[in-house]
Structure 1
Amino acid sequence: MNREYATNFSTMLDRRDFILASMGTAAWLMMSGFPRSDQAASPLALPPLPYAENALEPVITARTIGFHYGKHHKGYVDNLNKLVAGTEYAEMPLREIIIGSAGQPENSAIFNNAAQIWNHTFYWNSMKPKGGGEPPTALKQRMEASFSSVDACKQELAAAATTQFGSGWAWLVLDGDTLKVVKTGNADLPLTNGMKPLLTIDVWEHAYYLDYQNRRADYVNTVLDNLINWDFAAKNLG
């Protein structure tokens, strides 16, 4: 990592993430609950789901997971491997590809596909069968300090997810010492703005349309009540 790259990289990450990044993307991904297959450099492999395709039913059906994971997520992996072949990104871990291509119009296709691989892997881990319920104590206390209550945090997440115009994502993030809810369009993600993602909700139409048609709010609220993985968010909180 040259000095100029390291300087730019460190401005986008907090101190803990920068230390972990200097150890290699694998360390951060392991601490964030990512499967090991998401850590390798090119050719990147499709990370396995953390549960069976039918494990989130009836909230999200196996049919939706089959298309979403098996077609869309896999498509981003296949596209990225083609795009980075023979380039400086070919041997970079996924997270470094994202950071290195962010804000570069000439590499927008690389960024979009790399970020979508990362976002989707994070999204699968942001849910679990029989999720929802009460967050772990440390996370709950931070949510109450930042939002006044767990319900208020959920309401902000729901509002961000339902008001995101077009395709995108709603995120619970750690920004400095404060928890915040942010939304991003298309493939954008909080990593490139120096925020630490804790969990996310996918609001691209392919995430919910087979099950909910145009009822995005029903999808979002049902995920928050029944699938959201507060343990994953607490683990990412550190």
Structure 2
Amino acid sequence: MAFELPKLKYAYDALEPNIDARTMEIHHSKHHGGYTSKLNSAIVGTDLEGKTIENILSNLDMDNKAVRNNGGGFYNHSLFWEVMNPEGRGRLSGELKEAIEAAFGSFDAFKDEFSKAAATQFGSGWAWLCVHKGGKVEVCSTPNQDNPLMPDVSCGGTPILGLDVWEHAYYLNYQNRRPDYIEAFFNVINWNEVEKRFANAK
């Protein structure tokens, strides 16, 4: 079955003033929609058809640019929408909080590390919080639509929190002020969802 553009669980304007409605509409319907249709075109009639996106990316031929770029774009954005919410739902707690404090020393230190990864990613890309088997977490960044599931990227594990730092994710509202956008992202993180992903992945 072909991949489908996931529906958002909140309205396009629900994340304002942190992320504006026009950016959300264009980002979801046009950019994510484009990755979805191009991914389907890239895998139709191949042995990748019918596989999960996680299976496709984990066993990816990195020279297959169409699947690398559009499969990554599909997966990354699907996660991105899920780890945000308009209500500040949940606070970091439990085993994930313990894992973050063990890895970084404190939540503030983690926030600094994650923000640095996002701010210093040259050009387009993503910042990630990933979890390895056993529960160890790390922060990293990847270029373009690459992600930690793919072979031969700069970090591994399962991504449980991701921030899109392509200009299309923030330029209408923030222009070149990427650090302001990164700071605003922390106002809309759905920690309940991130903790659920941590529990499933570790």
Q: What TM-score results when the alignment is normalised by the length of structure 1?
A: 0.77
Q: 1:201-223: CA deviations, max 9, x gaps?
A: 11011000011000000000111
**Which of these residues, 115, 118, 142, is aligned with residue 75 of structure 2?**
118
Correspondence for 2:49 among 90, 97, 110: 90
Report the 3-state secondary structure (helix = DSSP H, G, I; strand = E; otherwise coil) of the residue aligned with 1:192.
coil
Q: Summarize the alignment of residues 28-39 of structure 1 with structure 2, pairs less than 5 Å apart.
A: none
Counterpart pick for 1:71 among 23, 30, 52 = 30
Instruction: Provide the secondary structure at the position in 2 that maps to 1:199.
Output: strand
8 Å contact kept, 2:91–2:192:
no
SS at match of 1:131: coil
TM-aligned CA distance change 1:84 to 1:133, over 3 Å:
closer
Cα distance in structure 2, aligned partners of 1:116 and 1:45: 13
- Could you list the runs of 5+ residues in structure 1 that have no partner in the other structure? 1-41
Measure the CA separation in 2 of the matches of 1:206 and 1:155: 23
Residue 117 of structure 2 contacts residue 141 of structure 2 at CA under 8 Å; is this kept in 1? yes
- Deviation of 1:133 (Å): 7.3
Checking the alignment, whether the CA contact within 8 Å between 1:101 and 1:108 is kept in structure 2 is no
Residue aligning to 1:39: none
State the shift of 1:74 in Å.
0.1
Change over 3 Å in CA distance of 1:83–1:179 after alignment to 2: same
Larger radius of gyration: 1
1:149 equivalent to 2:86? Answer no
5 Å matches for 1:147-186?
Answer: 147-176=104-133, 177-186=135-144
Matches within 5 A, 1:122-133: 122-131=79-88
Tell me which stretches of 4 or more aligned residues in structure 1 moved more than 3 Å: none
**Structure having the larger proportion of residues in helix:** 1
What's the CA shift for 1:137? 2.5
Match of 1:228 in 2: 189
Q: In the alignment, which residue of structure 1 is the partner of 2:173?
A: 211
Taking a change above 3 Å as real, the CA distance of residues 134 and 92 of structure 1, as seen in their structure-2 partners, is closer
Summarize the Cα distance change of 1:229–1:138 in structure 2 as closer, same or farther, 3 Å threshold. Answer: same
Q: What is the CA–CA distance in structure 2 between the aligned matches of 1:217 and 1:210, rounded to whole Å? A: 14
Q: Secondary structure at the match of 2:163?
A: strand
Indicate the SS of the match to 2:149: helix
Q: Distance in 2 between matches of 1:146 and 1:168?
A: 23
Paired AA for residue 195 in structure 2: A
2:16 aligns to what SS in structure 1?
Answer: coil
